Amino acid sequence: MTDLAQSDLKRLVLHDLHVSLGGKMVPFAGYDMPVQYPAGVMTEHLHTRAAAGLFDVSHMGQVILRPHGDMAALVAAFEALMPVDVAGLAEGRQRYGLFTNETGGILDDLMFANRGDHLFVVVNAACKEADVAHMTAHLSAVAEVEHITDRALLALQGPMAEAALAAWVPGVAEMRFMDVRVFDTGFGPMWVSRSGYTGEDGFEISVPESGAMDLARALLSTEGVMPIGLGARDSLRLEAGLCLYGHDIDTTTSPVEAGLTWAIQKVRRTGGARAGDFPGAARILREMDHGPERLRVGLSPQTRAPMREGTQLFDPDGTPLGEVTSGGFGPSVQAPIAMGYVAASHATPGTALEGEVRGKRMAVTVTPLPFHPTTYKR
Amino acid sequence: MKYTKEHEWMRVEGDLVVVGITEHAATQLGDVVFVELPETETMVAEGDEVCVIESVKAASDILAPLDGEIVEVNTKLVDKPALVNEDPTGEAWFFKMKIDDLAALDDYMDEDEYADFIG
């Protein structure tokens, strides 16, 4: 294995800002990204929960689906790619979605928004080329699939996010969780959603690259806002019990095993008006109706030793049960935390398991998710 | 004080060698959240993995810098791993070793050489 040469890494439009802020740059999904700033992961994490954190997530994919004719034809075609209710999403609202494959695994997880005459989709960086190809293959007959590459994406998260963004864009204060709106601003047309991936209230902001530097500097100059790297983004989402694609979910895990059935609305479930008719429906609906063989669970190691990704999990009698898919230390809960898959028979909160750390079996308990309560503004 | 290429420092205290990690290493690791110490009265060889340090980001090992016996460990680090970031070259020592010949330390970098080593 060789590391990507620095020159092969793509640079974010805010690259120079990250470097000037003292960001420690690392390769991530083909981009040169700040993993932390001088404050460090712990401080950045706690600051986001206490005030507001600014994250550069411009590496993520932004896609517009513009119908050739009728919106309804696009909605129906997009709904055929996911076990999710697309038709029921009101204009100005966003929803969590999942592209599934024929065997019921997850190709990617995403956010999609109904913006009246088109859909706006945000996908994971590592999957974006494949997602665009997937959407192009399945939606070209009814819509233009437009991969937006001239916009940055910023996330502003935490209890002071509303005040900080409203200082520049007053209208955002009226938005509720998962609302989307477009604002004409001095930074260019801003596409704002009240969402994020930290468990905190906050916003994701798509802004033209030409206005991104000024917007980032403006937000960083606002009371309570600090730049946050990928390290804290990971610990924040883990505490919030949110899945990281390629780790907690992938092409082998079904949405049911992953505990994402809340994302499958009633209308797409057995007995619903538009039940099934999405890739992998046979497995996904069977697992919903009869229970999956394994489940994603929260895990609280009972010693101070973190259980990292790949830690093998066992019944106290020694039977292998599964493994950790994300694990580390939760700065807000001040304890090691993890998520992983275990046999459904051992997935009830409170179940005592063991995880193997450096050759030793250590006690770990199945725990409800999230580890830290979410504070979305519903 | 003497230094290893693995960013550990060694300080002679009577007939013992006190071992810890450098400020540079502590900064690179980030916030330390877990420390696992060796058993006392353990014979170790140079290069043996004797402690585990975990930061928010990742796990790393501390190697025995010399052949000898672990005679004392700093149990304060178990309850307060953050000491490693707060005072790496003082209060956050990891263990004390008894070695046959303190002259073995002569092979290691002094402060100026270590400063050059980390650039």
pLDDT digits (tens, 9 = 90+) for A53-112: 999 999 999 999 999 999 999 999 999 999 999 999 999 999 999 999 999 999 999 999
Can you tell me the distance from the alpha carbon of A61 to that of A69, in angstroms, rounded to the nearest whole number?
Answer: 24
pLDDT class of A2 with cuts at 50, 70, 90 = very low
Task: Name the domain count of chain A.
Answer: 2
pLDDT class of A1 with cuts at 50, 70, 90 = very low
Q: Which residues in chain A are contacts of B51 at CB distance < 8 A? A: none
Structure tokens belonging to residue A58: 């411009």
Residue where a domain stops, chosen among A239, A263, A281: A239
Contact A145, A135 (CB under 8 A): yes
Q: Long-range contacts for A211-216 (Cβ within 8 Å, ≥24 apart)?
A: A211/A185, A211/A186, A211/A187, A212/A13, A212/A14, A212/A58, A212/A151, A212/A152, A212/A154, A212/A187, A213/A13, A213/A14, A213/A17, A214/A186, A214/A187, A215/A154, A215/A168, A215/A187, A215/A190, A216/A14, A216/A17, A216/A54, A216/A56, A216/A154
Judged by DSSP in three states, A196 sits in: coil
| Residue at A260 is within a domain | no
pLDDT digits (tens, 9 = 90+) for A250-280: 999 999 999 999 999 999 999 999 999 999 9
Quote the pLDDT of residue B41. 95
Q: Which residues in chain A are contacts of B57 at CB distance < 8 A? A: 35, 41, 231, 328
Of A231, A305, A358, the CB nearest to B57: A231
pLDDT digits (tens, 9 = 90+) for A97-135: 999 999 999 999 999 999 999 999 999 999 999 999 999
Tell me the shortest Cα–Cα distance from A44 to chain B, in angstroms: 11
pLDDT class of A213 with cuts at 50, 70, 90 = very high
pLDDT class of A306 with cuts at 50, 70, 90 = very high
Do residue A165 and residue A25 come from a single domain? yes
Do residue A331 and residue A200 come from a single domain? no
Can you tell me the distance from the alpha carbon of A318 to that of A315, in angstroms, rounded to the nearest whole number?
Answer: 5
Residue where a domain stops, chosen among A195, A212, A239: A239
Verify whether the Cβ–Cβ distance B36 to A305 is below 8 Å. yes
Do residue A201 and residue A307 come from a single domain? no
Quote the pLDDT of residue A21. 98
Quote the pLDDT of residue A229. 98
Do residue A205 and residue A305 come from a single domain? no
| Residue at A353 is within a domain | yes
| Residue at A253 is within a domain | no
Judged by DSSP in three states, B109 sits in: strand
Can you tell me the distance from the alpha carbon of B63 to that of A62, in angstroms, rounded to the nearest whole number?
Answer: 46
Residue where a domain stops, chosen among A192, A217, A239: A239
Verify whether the Cβ–Cβ distance B56 to A235 is below 8 Å. yes
Q: Look up the domain containing A310 and give its range.
A: 294-378
Task: Name the domain count of chain B.
Answer: 1
| Residue at A314 is within a domain | yes
Quote the pLDDT of residue A331. 97
Q: How far is CA A85 from CA A145, A174, B23, in A?
A: 20, 25, 54
For the domain that residue A210 is a member of, what is the CATH number? 3.30.1360.120
| Interface residue A36 vs chain B (CB under 8 A) | yes
| Interface residue A175 vs chain B (CB under 8 A) | no
Judged by DSSP in three states, A103 sits in: coil
Q: Which residues in chain A are contacts of B54 at CB distance < 8 A? A: 305-306, 329
Quote the pLDDT of residue A8. 84
| Residue at A234 is within a domain | yes
| Interface residue A306 vs chain B (CB under 8 A) | yes
Q: What is the ipTM of this complex?
A: 0.86
Can you tell me the distance from the alpha carbon of A278 to that of A253, in angstroms, rounded to the nearest whole number?
Answer: 16
